[in-house]
């Protein structure tokens, strides 16, 4: 009997580990590559698209993304009481588990509400409201553990779109970007919310990009960008290890940097383009800078040796990571966001809500299905679009149009 119980326990443990491997704990995944390694997903969709499992109307206003951990979907929204909130939904049914107030609702012409994605770390969830409210809550019930504000406490300054960053949790640190004279990048203790360090030698104003963590030559560091610079910050001390100028225009810098094998790739919209440089022993060395990828905010993903994303200049683009040259471009779908899962790209057009499945391949655009999100919100701002990035986790595709949150079966 004991052997039976032990066997069952082992099977259960294996099952749980498999499920956790396909969870999505934060923006662009655990490593911020935006690649879901889950296998067995549909390689071709039915004529009308994958089956819709559920739709929730409880998301509230905003463009916040999804984290999916242990059967719970975490996101954010804004309500009619002019509050922003953190929301937990059941991944199987879409039913609300709990919601917790974050702070005052951010308003602007492109749409009210929060813009980032919560980060799940163990028993806690961390997130950032559009007005700079950083909050840590218990994942089980949403009970607040601690709270801070990037503007009031750390010298941050709200930009036109508010704070859109998705927090990075690394070790005992929560990494965020208040920007300003007190320091561009900030590390808070994830248990207490108290400051560990704030960059003294980097004081650029914050933009809208989210940082990533890498190990380079044995040194753990955070890579983040401002309107004029890309920097590597030592994880333990907050010291600037290197800085590469990148004149990203005067409007907005949004896409998260891409890192591979000691090389950093950044892109920006508004006609700016992209740059790839090597992190050298003394200072970075630029490998190329061009306008082959003018990515505004839909994201760029490195799959193997090639980059994929939407370029304002040429449409959906496959770019050689090493050389920066265009491999192929296609305009069969308009501007939007991208996500990668099981060797395929999930593309979302921001104006129509059309979702397309293609191969992540340098051999060209190979489409395997498309559908349109239905229904669509009636609350979207006139100047807003469908900007929340798609996410696949545990066989389900998650999409959002303001208060409407969707889950589709893609396995």
- Tell me the sheet residues that pair with 148: 134
Give the CATH fold of the 21-409 domain: Methylamine Dehydrogenase; Chain H (2.130.10)
pLDDT of residue 293: 98
pLDDT of residue 250: 84
At CB < 8 A and 24+ separation, what contacts does 2-6 make? none
**pLDDT classification of 249: cutoffs 50, 70, 90:** confident
Torsion angle of the four alpha carbons 292, 295, 296, 301, in this order, in degrees rounded to the nearest 10: 180
List the one residue out of 11, 37, 97, 115 whose CA is nearest residue 342.
37
* In the block, residue with structure tokens 């909130």: 85
111-162 residue pLDDT tens: 999 999 999 999 999 999 999 999 999 999 999 999 999 999 999 999 999 9
Cβ 236 vs Cβ 251: under 8 Å: no
**pLDDT classification of 4: cutoffs 50, 70, 90:** very low
41-95 residue pLDDT tens: 999 999 999 999 999 999 999 999 999 999 999 999 999 999 999 999 999 999 9
Residues 6+ apart with CB under 8 A from 47: none
Between CA 42 and CA 359 the distance in angstroms is 12
* In the block, residue with structure tokens 């930009």: 159
Torsion angle of the four alpha carbons 97, 173, 198, 86, in this order, in degrees rounded to the nearest 10: 0
Residue range 290-317: mean pLDDT, rounded: 98
Which pair of structure tokens corresponds to residue 406? Answer: 């969707």
pLDDT of residue 70: 98
Q: For the chain, how long is the longest CA-to-CA vector?
A: 70
Residue range 95-110: mean pLDDT, rounded: 97
Burial class (CB in 10 A: 0-12, 13-18, 19+), 323: middle
Which pair of structure tokens corresponds to residue 313? Answer: 């200049």
**pLDDT classification of 31: cutoffs 50, 70, 90:** very high
Cβ 347 vs Cβ 300: under 8 Å: no
Domain boundaries of the chain, sorted by first residue: 21-409
SS3 label, residue 3: helix
Cβ 91 vs Cβ 396: under 8 Å: yes
Q: What are phi and psi of 347, to 5 degrees?
A: -110, 135
200-240 residue pLDDT tens: 999 999 999 999 999 999 999 999 999 999 999 999 999 99
Q: 99 pLDDT exceeds 80?
A: yes
Element (H, E) at 16: helix 2-21
Q: 16 pLDDT exceeds 80?
A: no
Q: 7 pLDDT exceeds 70?
A: no
Mean pLDDT (the chain) is 94
In the chain, the percentage of residues whose pLDDT exceeds 90 is: 93
pLDDT of residue 9: 39
- Across 5-9, 38-42, 269-273, 364-368, least confident range: 5-9
Cβ 33 vs Cβ 27: under 8 Å: no
Give the strand order in the sheet containing 344-349: 35-36, 336-341, 344-349, 354-359, 367-372
pLDDT of residue 247: 86
Between CA 91 and CA 19 the distance in angstroms is 12
Residue range 275-293: mean pLDDT, rounded: 93
- Tell me the sheet residues that pair with 126: 119, 136
pLDDT of residue 20: 62
* Residue spans of alpha helices (H) in 96-170: none
pLDDT of residue 14: 39
Q: 377 preceded by cis ω (within 30°)?
A: no
Between CA 299 and CA 273 the distance in angstroms is 13
Does the CA dihedral 119-212-296-29 come out positive or negative? Answer: negative
pTM of the model as a whole: 0.94
Phi-psi region of 241 (alpha: psi -120 to 50; beta: other; left: phi over 0): alpha
DSSP track, 37-91 = ---S--SS--TT-SPEEEEES---BS----EEETTEEEEEEE-TTSEEEEEEEET
């Amino acid at each position: 009997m004991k052997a039976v119980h032990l066997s069952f326990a082992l099977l259960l443990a294996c099952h749980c580990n498999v499920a956790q491997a396909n969870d999505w704990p934060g923006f662009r995944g655990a490593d911020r590559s935006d690649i879901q390694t889950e296998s067995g997903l549909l390689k071709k969709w039915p004529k009308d698209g994958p089956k819709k499992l559920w739709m929730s109307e409880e998301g509230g206003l905003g463009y916040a993304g999804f984290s999916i951990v242990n059967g719970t979907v975490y996101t954010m929204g804004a309500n009619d009481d002019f509050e922003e909130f953190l929301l937990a939904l059941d991944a199987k049914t879409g039913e609300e588990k709990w919601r917790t107030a974050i702070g005052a609702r951010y308003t602007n012409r492109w749409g009210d509400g929060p813009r980032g994605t919560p980060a799940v770390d163990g028993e806690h969830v961390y997130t950032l409201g559009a007005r700079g409210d950083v909050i840590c809550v218990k994942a089980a019930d949403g009970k607040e553990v601690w709270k801070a504000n990037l503007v009031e406490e750390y010298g941050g300054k709200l930009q036109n779109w508010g704070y859109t960053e998705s927090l990075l949790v690394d070790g005992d640190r929560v990494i965020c970007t208040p920007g300003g004279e007190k320091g561009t990048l900030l590390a808070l203790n994830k248990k207490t919310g108290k400051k560990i360090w704030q960059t003294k030698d980097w004081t650029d104003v914050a933009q809208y990009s989210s940082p990533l963590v890498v190990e380079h030559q044995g040194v753990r560091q955070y890579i983040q960008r401002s309107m004029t610079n890309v920097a590597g910050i030592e994880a333990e001390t907050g010291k600037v290890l290197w800085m590469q100028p990148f004149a990203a225009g005067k409007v907005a810098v949004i896409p998260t940097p891409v890192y591979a094998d000691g090389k950093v790739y950044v892109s920006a919209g508004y006609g700016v383009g992209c740059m790839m440089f090597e992190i050298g022993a003394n200072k970075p060395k630029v490998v190329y800078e061009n306008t082959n990828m003018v990515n505004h905010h839909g994201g760029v993903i490195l799959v193997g040796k090639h980059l994929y994303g939407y370029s304002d200049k040429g449409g959906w683009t496959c770019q050689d990571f090493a050389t920066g040259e265009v491999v192929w471009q296609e305009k069969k779908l308009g501007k939007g966001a991208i996500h990668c899962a099981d060797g395929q790209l999930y593309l979302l057009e921001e104006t129509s809500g059309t979702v397309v499945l293609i191969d992540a391949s340098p051999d060209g655009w190979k489409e395997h299905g498309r559908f349109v999100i239905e229904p669509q919100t009636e609350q979207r701002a006139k100047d807003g679009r469908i900007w929340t990035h798609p996410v696949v986790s545990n066989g389900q595709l998650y999409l959002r149009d303001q208060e409407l949150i969707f889950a589709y079966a893609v396995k």
